[in-house]
């Protein structure tokens, strides 16, 4: 598939984005210390202008399913829907907002979110290529890699079923909590890399049907089982990440997803994932209720769609974390990265616990902004976090500006390298980053680190093993499998 960036006025767009960043600094500095719907609406208008410019000048092949579009869409739901649309009509539309927080800082913190978004957009546009580029993505035969990886994926899946198979087959919400977190991440990374290898080995078909027909059937089967089981238990996060890797990879190398298709995919996905959230249940104990028919029945009975924004509930509720996190930082001071400490060591097994217990006398989860926000609210369930709040709690306004700028700059770097360098490590990194694009605004900016690092390590090991197999086959004179390793 030919990949083209049309030469547009990227320099002008970047300068205009810088101007909007300056305006957002001004708007934050002079934001009222009380709620103002008019001010929040103006903040939203600036956000939309900044985001539209970014999307407009960074589209490649008119493909809307990319990190920037998904991230900015999610960011809108997480930080702007509640103050602009819901708060004036019903401040307690979602029960989580009944938990106490300072309503007077809504406008100021919304301006902070805008500041972070404008900084991100400037980082994206500053890094984006300005010249016309055209590349024919060449496919590679990953036969041995896929063979080894499919065996590994089946092995890990069997272990997962040993831990939680019975609970998952009964559709018990929370069943996946019985799976060791590291094991679940290994499986997610393995199936994600498997999907990427399938896509990279078939980049010249240009048809999704041909792609599916020629794909690795054992991997597709395990992917199908994985999606069904995790949806049945109501655990949507891992499913969403794998689907984003698959659809994102297809949109890059198989079939471009244009605006109409993108809107359909997003609306359908929001509806399905909302339905799942209402269909899952922790209270089902009767075996007669533990089947797919009852799962679907519960979904239709419980789902309530009073407005379009009900579809974005899982994102919108994290807006409270922005207010709570900023309020906490104002009362307790900045933690200078203490709450982000865990993520830096997360790729190395057991090291996060060792480091946090040694230097902070705490468990890793106790040092996350999500846990602090939950504890401050005395909530009986996890409230999650908010990326802007997490950065502000660590380094204040400057931290929000700097980290959001580098997020946009770094993601764009991997996006362009993935498309134009034909280097598989860049492709893997970008697609795993893309898999976090929707989730990222409601968590820590460093959350993808473990998945990305483990995916790179797994691919590196597989390449080494593949070369070893090829070497052995040449020595024995009996070819195991024909493959070109690059």
Give the DSSP letter string of 1-62: -EEEE----HHHHHHHHHHHHHHHHHHHHT--SS--HHHHHHHHHHHHHHHHHHHHHH-STT
Q: Residue 484's pLDDT band (boundaries 50, 70, 90)?
A: very low
pLDDT at 204 over 60: no
Confidence category of residue 295, pLDDT binned at 50, 70, 90: confident
Query: Which pLDDT does position 132 carry in this prediction?
Result: 47
pLDDT in tens, 28-57: 999 999 999 999 999 999 999 999 999 999
Report field, pTM of the whole predicted structure over 0.85: yes
- Band (pLDDT 50/70/90 cuts) for residue 335 is confident
Whether the pLDDT of residue 5 is over 60: the answer is: no
- Amino acid 97: pLDDT: 94
pLDDT of 377 > 50? The answer is yes
Axis-axis angle for helices 181-200, 143-169 (nearest 10): 140
- Whole-number Cα distances in Å, 121 to 22, 125, 279: 12, 6, 37
> What's residue 486's pLDDT?
37
pLDDT tens digit sequence for 307-316: 788 888 899 9
Q: Look at 59-63, 400-404, 438-442 and tell me which has the smallest mean pLDDT.
A: 59-63
Which residues, including other chains, have CB under 8 Å from residue 121's CB and lie 6 or more apart? 17, 20, 21, 50, 51, 53, 54, 72, 408
d(CA 390, CA 396): 9
Q: Residues 374-392: what's their mean pLDDT?
A: 89
Say if residue 474 is exposed, middle or buried (CB neighbours under 10 Å; 0-12, 13-18, 19+): exposed
Rg of the Cα atoms in the chain: 23
* Confidence at 266, pLDDT banded by 50, 70, 90: very high
Distance CA 169, CA 147 (A): 28
Residue 352 has pLDDT above 60, yes or no: yes
Smallest Cα–Cα separation from 266: which of 240, 295, 290? 240
DSSP string spanning 203-262?
Answer: TT---HHHHHHTS-HHHHHHHHHHHHHHHHTT-HHHHHHHHHHHHHHHHHHT----HHHH
Average pLDDT rounded to a whole number, residues 180-195: 91
pLDDT of residue 291: 61
Q: How far is CA 453 from CA 96, 252, 392, 410, in A?
A: 34, 22, 26, 15
Tokens of 483: 């493959």
Provide the mean pLDDT of the chain: 85
Question: Helix H segments across 303-362?
Answer: 313-316, 319-332, 341-345, 351-359
Q: Is the pLDDT of residue 477 over 70?
A: no
Is the model's pLDDT at 9 over the cut of 80?
Answer: no
Work out the burial of residue 125: count CB atoms within 10 Å of its CB; fewer than 13 is exposed, 13-18 middle, 19 or more buried: buried
Percentage of residues of the chain with pLDDT beyond 90: 48
Ranges of each domain in the chain: 1-319+425-458
- Give residue 475's pLDDT band: very low, low, confident or very high (50, 70, 90): low
Quick one: pLDDT at residue 320?
Answer: 96
Per-residue confidence (pLDDT) for residue 355, from 0 to 100: 73
The answer to whether the beta carbons of residues 117 and 28 sit under 8 Å apart is no
Q: Helices H, strands E: what count in the chain?
A: 20, 2
Rounded to an integer, the average pLDDT of 264-286 is: 78
Distance, CA of 30 to CA of 284 (rounded, Å)? 51
- Asked if 233 and 168 touch (Cβ cutoff 8 Å), the reply is yes
Mean pLDDT for 163-168 is 84
* pLDDT at residue 129 in the model: 63
Contact between 258 and 445 under an 8 Å Cβ cutoff? The reply is no
Structure-model confidence comparison of residues 115 and 304, the more confident one = 115
Phi then psi dihedrals of residue 18, to 5 deg: -65, -40
Pick from 126, 128, 122, 130: which is nearest to 20 by CA? 122
pLDDT in tens, 128-146: 865 445 445 455 667 778 8
Cα–Cα distance for residue pair 10/58, rounded to 1 Å? 9
- For residue 137 the two structure tokens come to 């993505």
Q: What is the pLDDT of residue 342?
A: 76
One-character DSSP codes across 124-145: HHHHS--S-EEEEPPP---HHH
């Amino acid at each position: 598939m030919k990949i083209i960036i049309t030469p547009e006025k990227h320099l002008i767009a970047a300068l205009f984005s810088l101007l909007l960043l300056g305006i957002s600094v001004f708007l934050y500095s002079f934001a009222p210390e009380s709620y103002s719907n008019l001010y929040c609406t103006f903040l939203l208008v600036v956000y939309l202008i900044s985001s539209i410019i970014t999307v407009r000048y960074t589209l490649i092949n008119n493909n809307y399913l990319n990190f920037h579009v998904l991230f900015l869409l999610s960011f809108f739901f997480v930080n702007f829907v509640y103050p602009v649309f819901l708060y004036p009509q019903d401040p307690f539309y979602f029960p989580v907002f009944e938990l106490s927080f300072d309503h007077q800082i809504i406008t100021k913190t919304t301006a902070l979110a805008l500041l972070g978004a404008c900084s991100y957009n400037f980082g994206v546009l500053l890094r984006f290529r300005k010249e016309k580029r055209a590349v024919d993505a060449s496919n590679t035969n990953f036969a041995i890699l896929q063979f080894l990886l499919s065996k590994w994926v089946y092995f890990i899946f069997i272990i997962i079923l040993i831990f939680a198979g019975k609970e998952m087959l009964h559709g018990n919400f929370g069943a996946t909590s019985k799976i060791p977190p590291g094991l679940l991440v290994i499986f997610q990374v393995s199936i994600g890399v498997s999907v990427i290898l399938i896509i990279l080995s078939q980049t010249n078909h240009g048809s999704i049907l041909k792609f599916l027909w020629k794909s690795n059937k054992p991997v597709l089967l395990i992917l199908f089982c994985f999606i069904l089981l995790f949806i049945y238990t109501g655990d949507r996060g891992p499913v969403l990440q794998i689907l984003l890797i698959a659809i994102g990879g297809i949109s890059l190398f198989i079939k471009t997803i244009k605006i109409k298709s993108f809107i359909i995919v997003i609306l359908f996905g929001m509806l399905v994932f909302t339905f799942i959230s209402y269909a899952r249940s922790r209270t089902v104990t009767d075996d007669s209720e533990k089947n797919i028919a009852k799962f679907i029945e519960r979904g239709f009975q419980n789902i309530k769609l009073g407005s379009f924004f009900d579809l974005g509930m899982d994102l919108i509720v994290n807006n409270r974390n922005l207010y709570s996190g900023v309020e906490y930082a104002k009362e307790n001071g900045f933690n200078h990265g203490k709450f982000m400490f865990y993520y830096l060591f997360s790729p190395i097994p057991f090291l996060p616990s060792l480091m946090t217990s040694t230097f902070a006398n705490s468990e890793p989860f106790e040092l996350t902004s999500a846990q602090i926000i939950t504890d401050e609210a005395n909530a009986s369930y996890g409230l999650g976090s908010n990326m802007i709040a997490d950065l502000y709690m660590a380094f204040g306004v400057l931290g929000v500006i700097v980290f959001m700028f580098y997020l946009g700059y770094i993601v764009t770097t991997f996006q362009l390298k993935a498309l134009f360098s034909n280097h598989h490590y860049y492709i893997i990194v970008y697609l795993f980053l893309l898999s976090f694009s929707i989730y990222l605004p409601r968590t820590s900016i460093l959350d993808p680190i473990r998945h990305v690092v483990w995916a790179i390590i797994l691919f590196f090991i597989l390449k080494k093993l593949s070369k070893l197999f090829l070497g052995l086959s040449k020595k024995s004179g009996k070819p195991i499998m024909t493959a070109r390793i690059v």
